[in-house]
Amino acid sequence: PYVVTEPCINCKYTDCVEVCPVDCFYEGPNFLTIQPDECIDCNACVPVCPVEAIYPDDELPEEYQHYTEWNEYLANQWRELGYNITEKSDPMPDAEEWETKEKSEEDILT
């Protein structure tokens, strides 16, 4: 499956959800995740993310390896809460600023 990584945190541009043929994105307060059992590996979301946050799990950069588990864990929680997202919405208010800031998985709000 494909995995959403750090650059998405506090940005949430949501272009990805519009192109996903199986609607497998789930939304938290400041991050999106892909539900791994639903993703069909079509690659459509990768080129549309303006901050290049999405990777196939076997091509994750070393520093983003742990995001595979994060996507599964959070997507399952958010799926249970009904937080499926299929339509583009406004990015986070300070998205542009956050593009260049240091961040980590600890910044993900759940």
- Single out the segment in contact with ligand SF4 by CB under 6 A; choices: 43-51, 58-66, 78-86, 88-96: 43-51
The site for ligand SF4, by CB under 6 A, has a size of: 13
42 makes contact, choosing from ligand SF4, ligand F3S, none, with CB < 5 to 8 Å by partner type, with: ligand SF4
Tell whether residue 53 is a contact of ligand SF4 (CB under 6 A): no
Beta bridge pairs of residue 54: 4
| Angle (CA) 72 66 45, round 5° | 60
Selected binder of ligand F3S within 3, 8, 20, 75 (CB under 6 A): 8
Tokens 């260049």 — which residue?
A: 100
The CA distance from 20 to 66, in Å, is 23
Which range, of 13-21, 35-43, 57-65, 69-77, touches ligand F3S by CB under 6 A? 13-21
Question: Out of ligand F3S, ligand SF4, none, which partner does residue 20 contact, by CB within 5 to 8 A per kind?
Answer: ligand SF4
Query: Under a CB-based contact definition with an 8 Å cutoff, are residues 92 and 53 in contact?
Result: no
What is residue 26's three-state secondary structure?
Answer: strand
